[in-house]
Structure 1
């Protein structure tokens, strides 16, 4: 069994368990910056990425993970995938943790930062990919990537909708950075595809 499938099952299992059987554990594992900096529970920047707020949140994220993580692992290998995914969850949580460290009301959870990283990393490796927006509307991968980055950057500064847009943005940046570091030649391929998409 691949590591991406193991992560998928682990995330589903832990999310369902904490949602329906152990809310106390959910509170101990989610990202709660104000408490984290007081009691040094820094593990939260990682564990929060394996939790979800409700069943719809879990289903949407895990479907997205399934469609992109398995083929990405096939490209970069199991060890690189695990290190990349865990690292992306941590990095995408750090900005929010620091930004909200003095806000006792702020809490966050979800795999969205890590999954954004997976999607963007895969798009860079395969710029001919078509993204099904809301699983219905086909959009060329590079156009989706540019629009996603622009919207996440805008939303993180201007919209208060209980969605961690900062995590999405940093996850996307991690995905792009990892792909370029892993294979610098993808830059040319991605640039050419972006130009084709907008022409």
Structure 2
């Protein structure tokens, strides 16, 4: 069984349990005010295993399933027997890094809460883009017709715009930072990915 499937299974079980258990949700959701006042820093990670509803849960886990096993396969090629360790590190730190900005900017807002695996999922998706920058991707419900590297740029621009406008209750800041972490993580752990990324894009224009 792949790590991706294991992560999905754990997240689904914890999320569904929290749907019917307000105490569980309250204890592990990200609340920056509580994090700073009570030093409950674990919330930066545990909130990534909670979701607001079944739709939120399905979208995140479906996205993780689509790209996660592909990234695992690449990690096995470049990291060998350390692949599982690096994959877990990518995903879990993606959740934490994505939660850091709001944890500090919202620290005086006792009513602000955040949850969801979006940061970790975005880090995996963007790691996939680094490996396959010319693969076709798309924005739901549109078909996948955009080269992955262009999709990545549009995704970051959209997330930044929506984070500034705050039109909805979606954590666009977490999406953006989780995505950037996926890129940074690969560059730090496997520097040849930069040349691979650039060369693959260049070859697509020939």
The TM-score range, normalised by the shorter chain, is: over 0.9
For 1:156, the equivalent position in structure 2 comes to: 163
For residues 198 and 116 of structure 1, the distance between their equivalents in structure 2, rounded to whole angstroms, comes to 27
Aligned-pair Cα RMSD in Å: 1.8
- State the partner residue of 2:183: 176
Q: What is the aligned partner in structure 1 of residue 23 from structure 2?
A: 24
> Following the alignment from structure 2 to structure 1, what is the Cα–Cα distance between the partners of residues 12 and 200?
35
Aligned counterparts of 2:203 and 2:112: Cα–Cα separation in 1: 42
Residue number in structure 2 paired with 1:41: 40
Tell me the alpha carbon deviations over residues 48-92 of structure 1, each in whole angstroms, 9 at most, x when there is no partner.
Answer: 001100000001111000011111112212111011111111111
Aligned counterpart for 2:112 among listed residues 106, 110, 132 = 106
Question: 3-state SS of the aligned residue for 1:137?
Answer: coil
Q: Which runs of 5+ in 2 are unaligned?
A: 76-82
Q: Deviation of residue 194 (structure 1)?
A: 4.6
Counterparts of 1:198 and 1:110 in 2: how far apart (Å)? 38
Runs of 4 or more, structure 1, over 4 Å off, are 192-199
In structure 2, distance between residues paired with 1:49 and 1:127: 27
Q: Distance in 2 between matches of 1:137 and 1:58?
A: 22
Comparing 29-38 with 188-197, greater Cα deviation is found at: 188-197
Q: Within 2, Cα distance between the matches of 1:198 and 1:34? A: 50
Aligned residues: 198
The one of 166, 174, 185 aligned to 2:192: 185
Deviation at residue 161 of structure 1 after TM alignment: 0.9
TM-score, length-scaled by structure 2: 0.89
Whole-Å separation in 1 of the counterparts to 2:153 and 2:10: 31
Pair 1:79–1:135, CA change in 2 (3 A): farther
* Structure 1 stretches lacking a partner, 5+ long: none
- What is the rounded CA distance, in whole Å, between the counterparts of 2:196 and 2:113 in structure 1? 39
How much does 1:159 deviate? 2.5
Change (3 A) 1:197 1:157: farther
